[in-house]
């Protein structure tokens, strides 16, 4: 099975490819504009982007959106994590949390599949906390300051296969993969 993923982030594409490979799904890079609206709700952002991209495509496509919520900052940076990463960066987040005891945070990913007939949404959440300092070289984005719940390492200190067992993105994409595989099984049965 092949699936087009609309993203401008090569690290994300690689991560998604590795997760979906386990299900026999090959990820292809979809070129084109990812039109994102401003909203506090990542499901709404991903849904809009997918519908926009889907309207001009004849193949099944997938769009995802990820947010990082920090409890004591009223959810900041939320769905604007990518912009915040590009501007104030990891050091900006650490500065905002200086002398702060409540470091609770969570990642959320919304994945939208559409193929012209069906639009389906899948979601994954990873709870954790913001580290006191930047640690690790794997992953991307806020991984070097995010410690998953029950762990000591940041996401960036974990090997890709470790991260992909527990991450928000992998949870959402595994749900999508399981659904795709079950749909294919149903289709095969009806044709046999």
Contacts of 34 (CB under 8 A, 6+ apart): 6, 7, 8, 49, 53, 63
Binding map of its own copies across residues 73-102, x = CB under 8 A, - = no contact? xxxxxx-x--xx-xxx---x--xx-x----
Shortest distance, CB of residue 48 to its own copies, whole angstroms?
Answer: 9
38 binds its own copies (CB under 8 A): yes
Q: Is 64 labeled as catalytic in the residue annotation? A: no
Instruction: Please classify residue 135 by burial: count the beta carbons closer than 10 Å to its beta carbon, then call 0-12 exposed, 13-18 middle and 19+ buried.
Output: middle
| Cβ proximity to its own copies, 25 vs 53, nearer residue | 53
* Candidates 52, 65, 115, 143; catalytic one: 65
Which residues in 14-43 are b (16+ Cβ under 10 Å) and which e?
Answer: ebbbbbbeeeebebeebeeebebeeeeebb
Shortest distance, CB of residue 17 to its own copies, whole angstroms?
Answer: 25
Structure tokens at 142: 């806020």
> Using an 8 Å Cβ cutoff, are 96 and 121 in contact?
no
Query: Bridge-partner residues for 119, per DSSP?
Result: 114
Shortest distance, CB of residue 153 to its own copies, whole angstroms?
Answer: 27
| Cβ proximity to its own copies, 68 vs 176, nearer residue | 68
User: How many chain residues bind its own copies (CB under 8 A)?
Assistant: 22
Given candidates 36, 44, 115, 127, which one binds its own copies under the rule CB under 8 A?
A: 36
- Site residues (CB under 8 A) for its own copies, limited to 123-182: none
> Using an 8 Å Cβ cutoff, are 27 and 20 in contact?
yes
* Angle 110-178-13 from CA coordinates, rounded to 5°: 50
Shortest distance, CB of residue 8 to its own copies, whole angstroms?
Answer: 12
| Cβ proximity to its own copies, 110 vs 176, nearer residue | 110
Task: Give the active site residues.
Answer: 65
Q: Kindly list the residues in this chain that would bind its own copies in the complex (CB under 8 A).
A: 35-38, 40, 45, 73-78, 80, 83-84, 86-88, 92, 95-96, 98
């Amino acid at each position: 099975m092949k699936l087009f993923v609309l993203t401008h982030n090569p690290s994300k594409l690689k991560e998604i490819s590795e997760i979906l490979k386990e299900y026999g799904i090959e990820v292809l890079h979809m070129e084109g504009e990812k039109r994102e609206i401003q909203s506090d709700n990542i499901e709404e952002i991903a849904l809009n982007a997918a519908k926009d991209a889907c309207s001009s495509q004849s193949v099944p496509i997938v769009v995802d959106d990820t947010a990082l919520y920090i409890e004591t900052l009223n959810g900041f940076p939320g769905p604007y994590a990518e912009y915040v990463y590009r501007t104030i960066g990891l050091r900006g987040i650490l500065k905002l949390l200086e002398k702060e005891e409540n470091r609770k945070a969570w990642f959320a990913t919304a994945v939208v599949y559409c193929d012209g007939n069906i639009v389906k949404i899948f979601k994954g959440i990873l709870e954790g906390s913001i580290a006191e300092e930047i640690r690790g070289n794997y992953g991307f984005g806020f991984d070097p300051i995010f410690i998953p719940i029950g762990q000591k390492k940041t996401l960036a200190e974990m090997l890709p296969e470790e991260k992909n067992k527990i991450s928000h993105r992998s949870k959402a994409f595994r749900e999508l993969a399981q659904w795709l595989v079950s749909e294919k099984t149903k289709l095969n049965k009806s044709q046999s």
